[in-house]
Amino acid sequence: MSYGPIRERLRRGEVLILDGAIGTEILRRDLTWADHQVLSRPTVVRAIHEDYVKAGADVISTNTFQLTRRALFNHFRDEAHRRHIGAPDLDDRADRLLRAAVDLALEARAAVSGGRPVAVAGAITTLEWCFRPDLAPTPAQARPEYRETIGALAKAGCDLVLIETVNSIAEAQVAVEAANEIGLPCWVSFVPDEHGKLFSGESMAEASRTLASLGPDALLVNCAPPEDARAGLRELAAARSGPIGIYPHIGRFDPPEWRFTDEYPPARYVEEARGWLGLGAQILGGCCGTTPAHIAALCRDLWSGVPGPRSELSTPSDSGPRTPDCS
C-alpha cells in the first residue's frame, strides 16, 4: 500500500499535489469519453496517468468518474426492459471497467514513478448527476451501491478512495461510511457554488461537522471555476482544522464535452494556486480542463515564483500551509 507515506506527509503539514483531469484529457486527445476508454483505448488512458506521475503528482486518481452499475442501468426503464433490449454484458460491465481502470493507474505508477511514493485514489462521485442534488437516491438506496463500487475499487488495489464532486452531505456521509466499512482511507471533495456552499444549499461548515466523526483524511472542493472553488475552500478552511484541498476546473462545460480555453494557462494556474496555499490548502490539483502541463507547473513552480509575479499572499515562508491538526 502506498498511502502510508502520503498520510504521513499530510500529518506533517506538507503540501501534496493531486493529478489533473482524466475525462477531459481523453477528449483533448481526440477520443470520445462515452466509455471511459479503459478497455477500448487502454494505452491512451495509461499514458495520461503516466503523464501525471511524471509531472510530479503525489496522488493520481482512476478514470472511474460516474462509473457504476446505476449509470449503465439508468438507460433502461427497468430490469425487464434492459434484458429485452440491452447489451448482454451490462450486469458486470461496471465491475469490469472499474478493475480495468484501476489496473491502468497501477500500471502507470509502476512504470514511471521510479520508486517515488505515489498513491492511487479510486475516484467515485455522486450516484446520479454531480450537479443535480435533486436526483440523488435516498441513503438507503445509495448505501449498497457505494459499498459495491468502493469495494470494487479496494479489491482492485486502490490505496484510498477519492469521493469527489459530491453535492450533498447525506450522500457524502453514506460514501464515507462505506469506505470506512471497507477499510479504505478516504478524501471527500464537494462541488461548491459561487458562495462556497454545496449544491444542496448546505454549508461547508455543516459538511465538515457532520463528517468529522467519520474521519475522512481530507476535505476538498472541486469541479467549479477557480473563483467558486476558492470560495468553497475559504469556507472549509474556516470550519476545519484537518487537511483541506482544492482542484478547480478551467474552461467551459460543453456537453457532452469540454471547451478548453486559454484563460488559465499553467503559469496563471500556478499563481492562482499560491492563493490556495495562502488559504491553507494542503492538497492541490486540477479538475476538468486541466492537463499534465498544469500539474507539472504546480510541482515545478509553486514555490519558485518563476512564472510571472508572485502573489503577495503565498510565499511558503510567510503563509505556507498551516500545521494541520490531524487527530
Partner 1 sequence: MLRLRYGTAHARVMSAYEVVRGALGRGGPIVLGGPMGTELVRRGVRWRGHGMLTDSDAVRTLYLEYLAAGADLIRTNTFQLNRRIYLDVFRDAAHMRHIGAPGLAQRASELTRRAVELAREARVRSGREGVAIAGVMSPLEHCFRPDLAPPAHEAEAEHRELASVLAEAGVDLILLESMNTLTEARGAARAGRETGLPLWASFVLSPDGRVLGGEPLAEAAAAMRDLGAEAVLVNCVPPVDVGPALETLVPGGPAGAFPHLGKLDPPSWKLEFFPRFCQTDEWPPERLAMAAAEWLSRGARIIGSCCGSGPAHTRALSPRSEVRGPRPSRSGLEMRSQPNPPAPFPKGKGELLNSHPLPFREEGWGVRL
The binding site for partner 1 (CB under 8 A) comprises 23, 31-36, 65-67, 71-72, 74-77, 80-81, 84-88, 90, 93-94, 97, 129, 131-133, 193-194, 199, 224-225, 249, 252-257, 259
Smallest gap from residue 32 Cβ to partner 1 (A): 5
Nearer to partner 1, 132 or 209 (CB): 132
The answer to whether 230 and 274 have CB atoms below 8 angstroms apart is no
Smallest gap from residue 259 Cβ to partner 1 (A): 5
Q: Which of 178, 177, 181, 185 is nearest to 158 (CA)?
A: 185
- Cα–Cα distance, 40 to 167 (Å, whole number): 30
Smallest gap from residue 2 Cβ to partner 1 (A): 27
The answer to whether 34 and 309 have CB atoms below 8 angstroms apart is no
Nearer to partner 1, 85 or 110 (CB): 85
Within 10 Å of residue 205's Cβ, how many Cβ atoms? 14
Smallest gap from residue 23 Cβ to partner 1 (A): 8
Q: Which residue has the cell 486518481?
A: 61
Smallest gap from residue 323 Cβ to partner 1 (A): 34
Nearer to partner 1, 12 or 195 (CB): 195
Nearer to partner 1, 148 or 193 (CB): 193
The answer to whether 292 and 48 have CB atoms below 8 angstroms apart is yes
The strands making up 160-166's β-sheet, listed across from edge to edge, are: 16-17, 283-284, 244-247, 218-222, 186-190, 160-166, 119-125, 59-61
Nearer to partner 1, 185 or 225 (CB): 225
Smallest gap from residue 280 Cβ to partner 1 (A): 25
Nearer to partner 1, 94 or 160 (CB): 94
Q: Which residues pair with 155 in a beta bridge?
A: none
- Cα–Cα distance, 120 to 214 (Å, whole number): 21
